[in-house]
Amino acid sequence: MAIAGWWYLRNLLLYGDPFGLGLYKGEFSSPTFSPFSLHDWGEAMHALGTSLIARFGWMSVAAPQWLYWLLAIWIGLAILGIRRWRIEQRWQLAWALVGLSFAWTFAFAVLSGQVGWQARFLFPAAPVAACALAMGLERSVKTAAWLLPALLVTMAVGLPNTVISAAYPYLVVEPQPERPVLALWRPDTANPIELRGILLPQTAKAGQPWLVNTLWRAVGKQDRKWSLFVHLAKPGSESESFAFDVQPQDGVWQALRWTPDDWWEDLLTIHLPAELEPGQYEVRMGWFDEFGDWSRAGVWSQNGLLLGDYAVVGKVVVE
């Protein structure tokens, strides 16, 4: 209480309870855990065991199944090698630490749900468990005990590129500062958005997909989930003949995730309606607040002049 008591008082003042549990439950939904359910215990021990060996991305990225079985066999051999412990005070205290860590994790799971069964909550007792398993493994397999450290090193080297990075798409690309700014949007309360490249087919067919590849740069963070609109309009017309709206990268790379100097490509698959009248159209692009007040970001010139709320990025002939 002398070291951490202020934290509970802070939570009580900010959130109304000393643990901030209500706020936690509001942010992280999780299946409940019942200590009287064998099914829940099975799910809990599976989560605890896999996260002890290798689990990433907030428990969402798992390692290959064979790796869990291989490590489980080694841990089983180590446990079999633990025959008798000397009853000394230091070991009593050590095992008490293991018990306390598990008790805390159990209590947290009862309060918060299955999400509480994560091996990182046992880390305070990790040195004790590691020493015990190492001694048991040495007794069980003796000269072959070096295979386990070799396996762990191989995991540490191999999993980042074969499991972790492969589970997440690359949302951004390398900066390309040599590309000129084709259009510049300046939201009223956020940082500018730059169009740095566009591959616009000059012809399209009504009733078929039309692929437009774009390159963007975020000058800084945004304060809303901007949506991109692409309009086809007859030259000189104030109204559009066709409208297409989309979140960046189909919603994967929403504007609230952008950080300063992010560059990303976005391949737009635009399905043109079959009834679209053939002819030449201007291609107009812009950003608008689809989930807010529907306001549009202004388009500005390099000299600081407001040009409107959309940019003409090219022309296309619809056949």
Distance CA 168, CA 224 (A): 24
Taking the chain (319 residues) in consecutive chunks of 10 residues, what is each chunk's mean pLDDT?
92 90 77 91 93 87 91 87 61 80 92 89 87 83 81 91 84 93 93 96 95 96 95 93 95 91 96 95 96 93 92 96
Would you state the pLDDT for residue 220? 93
The neighbouring-strand residues paired with 264 are 216
Give the global pTM: 0.57
- For residue 14, being part of any structural domain is answered with no
Would you state the pLDDT for residue 93? 75
Judgement on whether residues 116 and 244 belong to the same structural domain of the protein: no
Judgement on whether residues 210 and 136 belong to the same structural domain of the protein: no
Would you state the pLDDT for residue 169? 77
Judgement on whether residues 163 and 187 belong to the same structural domain of the protein: no
Would you state the pLDDT for residue 85? 55
For residues 246-255, one letter each, b for 16 or more C-beta atoms within 10 angstroms of the residue's C-beta and e for the rest, the string is bbbbeeebbb
- For residue 21, being part of any structural domain is answered with no
What is the full DSSP assignment across 187-255?
A: -SSS--EEEEEEE--SEE-TTSEEEEEEEEEE-S--SS--EEEEEEE-TT-SS-SEEEEE-GGGGTT-G
DSSP conformation class of 296? B
Would you state the pLDDT for residue 134? 85
Would you state the pLDDT for residue 102? 92
Would you state the pLDDT for residue 302? 86
Find the domain containing 219 and state its range. 183-318
Among the listed residues 140, 158, 153, 163, the one whose alpha carbon sits nearest the alpha carbon of residue 74:
140
27 three-class SS: helix
Judgement on whether residues 161 and 187 belong to the same structural domain of the protein: no
CATH of the domain at 307: 2.70.50.60
**Exposed, middle or buried by CB within 10 Å (0-12, 13-18, 19+), for 302?**
exposed
Would you state the pLDDT for residue 83? 64
